[in-house]
Amino acid sequence: MAQATSVADAFTAATGRDVELVEITTKGDVSSEPLATMGGTGVFVSALREAVLDGRVDVAVHSLKDLPTASPDGLVLAAVPERADPRDALCARDGLGLAQLPPGSTVGTGSPRRAAQLRALGLDLEVVEIRGNVDTRLRKVTDGQLDAVVLAYAGLGRLGRTEAVTEILDPLQLVPAPGQGALAVECRAADGELTSVMSVLDDPGTRPAVVAERALLAELEAGCSAPVGAYAVTAEGETPEEDELYIRGVVISGDGSMSIRKSATGSVTEAERLGRELAREMLEDGAGAVVGAEKLVPKKENVS
């Protein structure tokens, strides 16, 4: 609701049009199962998309990191507003940072990506699977059930809870989820007038970054609950045509013992190609086996 309200307010400010908010409950909101076991990809999205397609609402606002990489027929990604801080944040007892947590400390997260990268740091932390909204997760720290939790800094910011953050984690150490910190605004593809109007919210710096990140995820054939991280940033050139895009990707096993990390740089005009080519390089290094993807990398033919 906080995310939808921010988009509605920005839309009204830009166009003068009033917006009515419609609250829709998704499977991901009501289930306490781990994301990986209840399907992962799309559990926060499907109900909203159905509401757009059947005409109950005109626009859906999603966390972009929850959005499957394949769009269903009849919908279009009308806008990607300016991205909030994509980094992960530690909320720990006694104001501790990650390196200050004693060995054996319990750290809660609902994300396989965060859990795998935390284990890979070799800090001897006990990573615990948790679910629930932000307040529920933070309460586990204040009540002494956990020593810390890791959450998206953007979500904490939208809810006004950044005072709970004890460390904003380095995105090269804990690589964010593809699209983290960004919002997705979806409309019916047939509603060209509304799609055109909503595009006023699209941010030209955010769009290529998340396109590259999601292209990497799509090429790996991994869902939003897989242990995959991608972080892209744009660097301004002397002209918009000379703007560059830097992307870093990581694929990591659940126990943190195996990881593949690669990066690439290219033109913002080729964001999707850049993300896909980086993913192919990672697949050639064995990323498919790490994330459980079924895609096989074509092998060079042997001539005898």
Question: What are the strands, taking DSSP E only, across 13-121?
Answer: 59-63, 75-79, 88-92, 106-109
Question: Helices then strands (H, E): number in the chain?
Answer: 10, 11
- Here the tokens at position 30 are 């009501």
Q: One-letter amino acid identity for 180?
A: Q
User: Which of 294, 295, 293, 291 lies closest to 253, judged by CA?
Assistant: 291
- Is residue 255 within 8 A of residue 118, CB to CB? The reply is no
SS3 per residue for 150-212: EEEHHHHHHCCCHHHCCEECCCCCCCCCCCCCCEEEEEECCCHHHHHHHHHHCCCCHHHHHHH
SS3 226: coil
Give the residue numbers marked as catalytic.
66
